[in-house]
Amino acid sequence: MNAPRILSRVAFRRSCAALQCAAPRRAYGSPSFQSYPLYSNNNTPPPARGDGIPETSIATPDPLPKVNETRPPKIPSQMAPRQQSSTAQTTANTSLATSEASATSSAQTAGAVAPAPKVSEQAAQTPKPTGRPQRKLRARKAAMKLSPSAVEQLRALLDQPEPKLIKVGVRNRGCSGLAYHLEYVDKPGSFDEEVVQDGVKVLIDSKALFSIIGSEMDWVEDKLSQRFVFKNPNIKEQCGCGESFMV
């Protein structure tokens, strides 16, 4: 009956003995952590990367050199005197501009009060430079010529108590289509052509100018008739009696 109890005690004793033996083995087998210094007493730590560089503001970094600029960047110690000189120059310019403005205003005030100077006689007599000379226009060729006999007859017809003008035109009449027509008028039309020769003025109807231009007006007298005739170089066809023509 006591055999199981005895066996359990023996097993418990053996387990305790095994634990007591394993504890020293662990102490000798696993060494404890020991801290070592990074640098020995003879060696000093290297200097930091930022040592020797002057402290500058982050907001205003040094200007970087341009792409095509081979010169080294400017040193802040060299830029300070230049900034001071530029500031002094700006102040001098401002004071100079203020003095000039005051002098100008005083001069304008004096000019407004003082009378305007008189123009010298030489300046008044000097002729002004003329512009581009105008082109001389050639006399335009008359639209119609008058023979001496036609001039005498027209002068006799125009010699009246009431001045009148003789107007030459064409009408649709005759075999070929056009015939000359003369009439008295009081004043010329808007587009009528004036022919003046030897003091005699004759009007040409604007509608007939294309048919009459370049002609010569003549006065012909014979036993049967007295009439004005026209030598027209523009005629292409004419009837046998000479009453009408076509251009």
Whether pTM > 0.85 for this model: the answer is no
Looking at the chain, list the stretches that DSSP marks H as alpha helix, in order from N- to C-terminal side. Answer: 3-29, 76-113, 121-125, 148-158, 209-212
pLDDT tens-place string over residues 35-67 = 666 655 556 666 666 666 666 555 555 566 556
Please check whether residue 205 is in contact with residue 160, taking contact to mean a CB–CB distance below 8 angstroms: no
Please check whether residue 147 is in contact with residue 219, taking contact to mean a CB–CB distance below 8 angstroms: yes
Identify the band that residue 114 occupies on the pLDDT scale cut at 50, 70 and 90: very low
**Helix and strand counts by DSSP (H, E) for the chain:** 5, 9
pLDDT tens-place string over residues 143-183 = 788 888 988 988 888 888 887 888 888 888 777 778 888 88
Structure tokens at 181: 């027509």
Alpha-carbon span 138 to 83, nearest angstrom: 74
Structure tokens at 157: 């017809």
pLDDT tens-place string over residues 193-241 = 888 888 888 888 888 888 888 888 888 888 888 888 888 888 877 776 6
* CATH 2.60.300.12 correct for 144-246: yes
Q: How far is CA 51 from the centre of its chain?
A: 61
Q: Which residue has the tokens 């109890």?
A: 5
